[in-house]
Amino acid sequence: MSSLSALTRVTLMKDLRLEWRSKDAINSMLFFSLLVVVVFSFSFDPSAEESRLIAGGLIWVAFLFAAVVALNQTWAREIRNQVLDAYRVSPAPANSLFIAKTLGNFIFVTVLEALMTPLFIVFYRLRSLGPVWQLLLVAAFGTWALVVNGTFFAAMSLRTRSREIMLPLLLFPISIPALLAMVQATTAILNGEGARFWIVLLATYDLVFTTVCLLLFETVLNAE
Amino acid sequence: MKKVFPILGVVTAVLLIYALYQALAVAPTERTMGDVQRIFYYHVPSAWTAFLLFFINFGASVCFLIKRNQTADIVALVCAEVGVVFCTVVLITGPIWARPVWGIWWTWDMRLTSTLVLWLIYVSYLMLRRFSSSGETPLLAAALAVLGALCVPFVYFSIWFFRTQHPQPVMGGGGSIDPRMLHALLINWLAFSCFAFLVCWSRYRLEKLQREVDEAHALRSLHDPGGRVR
- pLDDT (tens digit, 9 = 90+) per residue, B185-199? 888 889 889 899 999
Lowest mean pLDDT among A122-131, B23-32, B171-180: B171-180
B136 touches chain A (CB under 8 A): yes
Instruction: Centre a 10 Å sphere on the Cβ of residue B160 and count the other Cβ atoms it contains.
Output: 12
Residues B115/B43, Cβ–Cβ less than 8 Å: no
**Predicted pLDDT at A47:** 72
Over residues A58-77, mean pLDDT: 87
Partners of A184 on chain B (C-beta within 8 Å) are 158, 161
Residue B34 CB burial class (10 angstroms; 0-12, 13-18, ≥19): exposed
**Predicted pLDDT at A108:** 92
Chain B: residue whose CA lies nearest to A219: B139
Buried b (16+ CB within 10 A) or exposed e, A128-137: bebeeebbeb
For residue B183, name the pLDDT band (cuts at 50, 70, 90).
confident
**Predicted pLDDT at A5:** 84
Chain B: residue whose CA lies nearest to A198: B158
Q: How far apart are CA B9 and CA B229, in angstroms?
A: 41
Higher pLDDT, A206 or A119: A206
Percent share of chain B, pLDDT over 70: 89
- The tens digit of pLDDT for each residue in B57-75 reads 999 999 999 988 889 999 9
CA atoms within 13 A on the CB side of B25: 6
Mean pLDDT value across chain A: 86
Could you list the residue range(s) of the whole structural domain that residue A159 is in? 2-221
Show which of residues 120-159 on chain A sit within 8 Å of chain B, judged by CB atoms. Answer: 149, 152, 156-157, 159
Instruction: Centre a 10 Å sphere on the Cβ of residue B20 and count the other Cβ atoms it contains.
Output: 16
Q: How far apart are CA B97 and CA B36, in angstroms?
A: 6
B120 touches chain A (CB under 8 A): yes
CA atoms within 13 A on the CB side of B203: 17
Q: Decide if pLDDT at B169 tops 60.
A: no
For residue B173, name the pLDDT band (cuts at 50, 70, 90).
very low
Region of A175 (left: φ > 0; alpha: ψ -120 to 50; beta: rest) is alpha
Region of B68 (left: φ > 0; alpha: ψ -120 to 50; beta: rest) is left
Residue B141 CB burial class (10 angstroms; 0-12, 13-18, ≥19): buried
**A173:B140 CB<8 A:** no
**Predicted pLDDT at A210:** 94
pTM for this one? Answer: 0.84
Most confident of A14-28, A157-171, A206-220, B101-115: A206-220
Over residues A58-67, mean pLDDT: 89
Show which of residues 151-170 on chain B sit within 8 Å of chain A, judged by CB atoms. Answer: 151, 154-155, 157-159, 161
For residue B39, name the pLDDT band (cuts at 50, 70, 90).
confident
Lowest mean pLDDT among A9-13, B162-166, B198-202: B162-166
- The tens digit of pLDDT for each residue in B89-107 reads 999 988 888 888 888 888 7
Number of domains in chain A: 1
Question: Any residues with CB less than 8 A from the CB of B94 and at least 6 apart, and which?
Answer: B43, B112, B115
State the DSSP H helix or E strand holding residue A107, giving kind and residue range, or none if neither. Answer: helix A94-124
Name the E strands within A13-159: none
**Predicted pLDDT at B176:** 65
Higher pLDDT, A125 or A218: A218
**A170:B158 CB<8 A:** no
- The tens digit of pLDDT for each residue in A83-111 reads 888 888 888 888 888 999 999 999 999 99
Closest Cα to residue B79, out of B59, B105, B98, B93? B59
Q: Decide if pLDDT at B172 tops 50.
A: no
Q: What distances in angstroms separate CA A198 from CA A175, A202, B114, B195, one per listed residue?
A: 14, 6, 17, 41
Name the E strands within B50-156: none
- The tens digit of pLDDT for each residue in A13-52 reads 988 898 889 888 888 888 888 888 888 878 877 776 777 7
**Predicted pLDDT at B61:** 93
Query: Å from A197 to nearest chain B CA?
Result: 9
Choose among B128, B133, B136: nearest Cβ to A170.
B128
User: In this complex, how many residue pairs, one in chain A and one in chain B, have their CB atoms less than 8 Å apart?
Assistant: 91
